[in-house]
Amino acid sequence: MNSTPGSHSLAFRVMRLCRPSFHVDHPLRVDPADLLVGEDIFDDPVAASELPRLIDSHVVKPNDASDLSYRSRFLLRDPSDPMGLSGLLVLPQAFGAIYLGETFCSYISINNSSNFEVKDVIIKAEIQTERQKILLLDTSKSPVESIRAGGRYDFIVEHDVKELGAHTLVCTALYNDGDGERKYLPQFFKFMVANPLSVRTKVRVVKDSAQTIVEGSNILGKLQITWRTNLGEPGRLQTQQILGTPITRSDVDLHVVEVPSVINLEKSFLLHLKLANKTERELGPFEVSLSQNGLHEEKAVVINGLQTMIFVDLD
C-alpha cells in the first residue's frame, strides 16, 4: 500500500455549502437632473420651473424598449436604487466563519486527474476535534466501483457543531490504481469554530414566590437558545445545568395542621399537629415536647394536659 504524497491519481476538493451573500452594485448612480443641469439652476426661478419638462423630454422611460444604448442604467429610478443591492446572490469565495450551534455542511468532490481508471474506491470522511472523532461518511461496505479518467465522485456531509476551537475534516480514499497497486490517500482540511454568543447565568430567588422543591436535587435545568440567520439557517445553543440555591431539608417535619378559627379568652382549644418522616429510612422513637412562652415573657397561653409525648418509629 502506497501513500507517498504527489503520487496519487485522486485528489479531494472541499467546498463549504453556506448561505450566499447579496451582490452589491458598485457603480455610482446619479439623479437624471444632474446629467442636464447644475446646482445653480435653482437660483433662477424661471429656469427651475422649466426643469420637470426638460427632464421628461431628455430622459428615457424605464419601460421604453427603443432604448438600446442602456444609457439610463445608472439613473436613480427607485428609492431602493441607492442601496446598491441588485437582487442577485453571490456564492461564497472563502471558507468563511463557522459558529458553535450551527450545522457545518460541506460539498466534497474526489477527482481522478490521471489518464486511467481507478477502481474499488473506499471513501471515508470524519470530523476530528480535541475530544472526539465523528464519522460522517464510510463506503467500506459499498465501495465506489470505479472513477473514470478525468471523472469525479461527489457527496455532501453534514455535522452539528457542538465544540469550540480547532476542527479538522479528514478525507481518505483507498483505491486500486491503473497498474493494480493499492493506494491510500489522506487529506486534511482545518477550520476554527467561534462562539456566536456569550451566555452568563445568575440565579436570584424572589422572596414573594414559593420555591419549587425537587427531591434530592437543586438542578433548575438548562437554557436553550435557538435562532435563524437572515437567510433562514438555523442555530442552537444549550447551556450547562443551572444550579439553584441549595435547599436545607431536615429529616423530620412537625407543623400545625388545624387550629380553631375562633379562640375564646380563658377557654381551652385543641391543636392538630402532624409529625412527618422526610427520609427514605425508618426513624424514631420521637419525643415531642410542648413548651410555654419564654421565662421573661408574659404567659399568654397555658398548656393544659401532657407536655411531653413519645411516638414509635415512623416509616
Q: 131 or 256: whose pLDDT is higher? A: 131
- The C-alpha cell 442601496 sits at 83
Query: What is the overall mean pLDDT for the chain?
Result: 76
Q: How far is CA 29 from CA 72, 78, 79, 80, 144, in A?
A: 10, 11, 12, 11, 54
Residue extent(s) of CATH 2.60.40.10 domains in the chain = 10-17+94-194
Per the confidence metrics, is the pTM higher than 0.75?
no
Torsions phi, psi of 308, nearest 5?
A: -135, 135
- For 34-69, the pLDDT digits (tens) are 556 666 666 667 766 766 666 665 554 555 555 545
Mean pLDDT score, 145-173:
91
- For 175-200, the pLDDT digits (tens) are 998 888 889 999 999 989 988 888 88
Q: What is the pLDDT of residue 294?
A: 56
Q: What would the CATH number be for the domain defined by 10-17+94-194? A: 2.60.40.10
Torsions phi, psi of 227, nearest 5?
A: -155, 170
Q: Which of 158, 152, 153, 154 is nearest to 106 (CA)?
A: 158
